[in-house]
A and B are shown apart, each in its own frame.
Chain A
Amino acid sequence: MTGPSVDEAGEPDPLSGHGGSRLLGNRGVLISTASTVIFFGALALIVVLAPGFKSVREGFFDWAAMKDSLLGVPEEGLPGIAPSFLLNVEVFLVAEVLILVLALVVAVVRQIPGPVFFPFRLVAIMYTDLFRGTPLLLVIYIFGFGIPALQIRGLSTQDEVVYGTAALVLSYAAYVSEVYRAGIESVHASQMAAARSLGLSRWQSLRYVVLPQAIRRVIPPLLNDFVSLQKDTALLAVLGVIEAARAAQIYSAYRFNYSSFVVSAFLFILVTIPLARFTDHLIERDRRRRAARGAP
């Protein structure tokens, strides 16, 4: 484990990693402001002076096209990106809940000892290996075109959104179950021993003693995976689902203008940045807590 940063006096430094101005001092603030201005100024110059800047500005940052694509043009049948983005959010929220549950089940099944449960463990291991090893895009194609082709009543007549979401859930749950598993294994065996010694069954010990500690430890990496999940909902576009990325594509194909992609990207960023900052906040809080209790 990387210990908390400790200054020379041996006190944990609560501001490290924040680059807070209190640490930088006045001179530091000046220097950082200057270097920031120079850096972004140079970057802007490179873009603006690029030979194709004018066409990029018209093709990607056309204000009118941005507004049209964001809200859609009903009379021409062009879907708006903003209303379509609601589908991304919806798929994300549903998938997230299902992933958390399925992944926990898989992680727990892999922990069950005893020869009787070997087939269960085997299925869990095969599942994680299979879905972690297959590119998500291919899983979405296989589900989206394969399941309807099976012609199973009730299962094969669902909407593409359902197949796409199922692919997201199964793919991500394989990853997330490994995150859970790492969390479970990070709880020391003596905790299980203490729980069992009190007469709690294996399941009760897992449920009340090991899992609560394990889950608390893996919340930051889990949130990290969810930032990624939110973006990957755009992959449902390949099944013809009209979500934000697909709506942007439709707009660009009709109007020969790519501003819609910029709008779509901006919407995703709008959602993922708060999620990423929240993750950072949790990691930082966890770090401070460990430092406060003497970094066990």
Chain B
Amino acid sequence: MKEALRLEGVHKSFDGNRVLRGVDLSLAEHEVVCLIGASGSGKSTMLRCVNLLEPVDAGRIIVHGEDITARGVDEDRIRRRIGIVFQAFNLFPHMSVLRNVTLAPEKVLGKQRTDADDEARELLERFGLADKAEEYPDRLSGGQQQRVAIVRALAMRPDIMLLDEVTSALDPELIAEVLNVIRELAAAGMTMLIATHEMGFARDIASRVCFLDDGVILEEGPPEQIFSAPREPRTKQFLQRIVEAGRL
């Protein structure tokens, strides 16, 4: 299988606080990998580094064979191929749903308005948002907003999608609609790196689960192994707490 993404010894600190302390990870094309771990273990930072929203301090990140952390790399060109969806949606509040989706295809890819509109409406239709195209984000539910954010990222036809705890800000009854969208993407063969607190979802969807602890990937493996027979004591402890909280 061809490799889509590789992290080699990635380090990242914020004001002396070492958030990532040598992360190694490899994703094959069409693979879905879930990152689990406590808040503050570095999941979000890792995704933001892959999207070049944060520069790495040391190590390399390689996307389809290209070192994107090398000097002089055109960040905007890299980001076009890597979509990211944030916990807080981050939709543009001054634009309609349709304009949120078409902004980047028009301005970055130089598509004609009519073509961008057609493609955006097609995507919105596919994710059950066709009737929301003219609405503004603040008129939508959290689940709808997050689905729009996913569509917005997809409109750039990325090779890889990064999902940063996309259901953490949602009311419980709205989580399923977003998870279903992600399942559909996985079924369609999208390469995805997903930071999540939804353990049941991770067990269903992931081809591999990585347990991130204190800035390193402490344990990784197929979901059945990680969730049923974790090797590391820290992983056991973490999953134990999740079970106690009734989340698994």
Binding site for B on A (CB under 8 A): 190-191, 193-201, 204, 208-209, 212-213, 216, 293, 296
Contacts and interface: CB of A to CB of B under 8 A. Distances in A.
Contacts of B234: none
B103 A200 contact: yes
Contacts of B104: 198-200
A197 B51 contact: yes
B90 A194 contact: yes
**Closest A-B pairs by Cβ, 5 of them:** A194-B90, A198-B104, A199-B80, A199-B108, A199-B79
Nearest to B152: A198
Given A197-B153, A200-B104, A204-B107, 14 more contacts: A190-B88, A190-B90, A194-B90, A194-B92, A195-B92, A197-B84, A198-B156, A199-B80, A199-B108, A200-B107, A204-B108, A208-B103, A213-B92, A216-B94
Given A208-B103, A293-B138, A201 B93 contact: no
Contacts of A190: 86, 88, 90
B83, B93, B138 interface centre (most CB from chain A within 10 Å): B93
Contacts of B108: 198-200, 204
Contact of A198 (B48, B94, B103, B138): B103
A199 B84 contact: no
A201 B103 CA distance: 12
A196 B90 contact: no
21 contacts: A190-B88, A190-B90, A191-B90, A191-B92, A193-B48, A193-B53, A193-B86, A193-B90, A194-B90, A194-B92, A195-B103, A196-B53, A197-B51, A197-B84, A197-B153, A199-B104, A200-B108, A201-B76, A204-B107, A208-B103, A212-B94
A138 to B, nearest CB: 40
Interface in B46-71: 48, 51, 53
A194, A196, A293 interface centre (most CB from chain B within 10 Å): A194
Interface in B74-126: 75-77, 79-80, 83-84, 86, 88, 90-94, 103-104, 107-108
A123 to B, nearest CB: 27
A220 to B, nearest CB: 16
Nearest to B48: A193
Nearest to A207: B107
A196 B80 CA distance: 9
Nearest to B108: A199
A195 to B, nearest CB: 8
Nearest to B106: A208
Contacts of A216: 94
B75, B77, B86, B94 interface centre (most CB from chain A within 10 Å): B94
Contacts, number: 60
Contacts of B92: 191, 194-195, 209, 213
Nearest to B109: A199
Contacts of B86: 190, 193-194
Contacts of B75: 196
A190, A198, A201, A293 interface centre (most CB from chain B within 10 Å): A198
Contacts of B80: 198-199
Contacts of B138: 293, 296
Contacts of B94: 212-213, 216
Contacts of B76: 196, 199-201
Contacts of A209: 92, 103
Contact of A199 (B48, B53, B88, B156): B156
Contacts of A296: 138
Contacts of B88: 190
Contact of B77 (A193, A199, A213): A199
A198 B153 contact: yes
Nearest to B75: A196
Contacts of B84: 197
Nearest to A216: B94
A204 B107 CA distance: 8
A198 B53 CA distance: 11
Nearest to A199: B80
Given A208-B103, A208-B107, A293-B138, A198 B79 contact: yes
Given A193-B53, A197-B79, A293-B138, A213 B107 contact: no
B178 to A, nearest CB: 17
Contacts of A196: 53, 75-76, 79
A201 B153 CA distance: 16
Contacts of B77: 199
B59 to A, nearest CB: 21
Contacts of A213: 92-94
A26 B224 CA distance: 74
Contacts of B93: 213
